[in-house]
Amino acid sequence: MTKANDFPEYEAIHTILLDRDGVINEDSPEFIKSPEEWCPIPGSLEAIARLTASGFRVVVISNQSGLARGLLDLKTLKAIHGKMLKAVAQAGGRIEAIYYCPHSPGDECQCRKPNPGLLLQFAADFKADLRRTLLIGDSWRDVEAAQAVEAHAILVKTGKGRMTLRQHPHPGIPVFDNLYQASNVLTKNKITQPIP
């Protein structure tokens, strides 16, 4: 079992960047197209609450090509994110910002992961040192985006995580069953506020 002291480099981490679909909420090959389709993965809301209580800044970094594909509009995406933010707040957590790429894979933009554009935008907005950030994702493109800017990365087995590990069986980074398990390691001995 992974222990907190296995990763002393994480002592300097101040921001946790979370992929959305497959990490916070259940993913779907048909995309998440409405607030009704947004369902949190068990333990994910509690995990964000733990991270918040431990003093981490939590930010979402997400590819949302459903916009470019015409599967949903910005108003609907805003409603989905509103539901997510409310659910996180009710669990005692806080997401400080949401960055998303609206483009399709063929648009050749710089913000769609594995490109690091969203991470660079976050760093500019928050004046953050990306070497002190940790991106938690379920896809290899999450790992590549983090590595492109010298951020740390963790894989979870939820969402596309198990498929990612079949394609990259020796990822060279920590792997956890889910966000809740990862949060337990990251917050060990760091809880500074009571969790509701």
Is residue 125 annotated as part of the catalytic site, yes or no?
A: no
* C-alpha torsion angle, residues 63, 177, 13, 187 (rounded to 10): 130
Is residue 6 annotated as part of the catalytic site, yes or no?
A: no
Catalytic residue among 19, 27, 138, 142: 19
State the catalytic residues: 19, 21
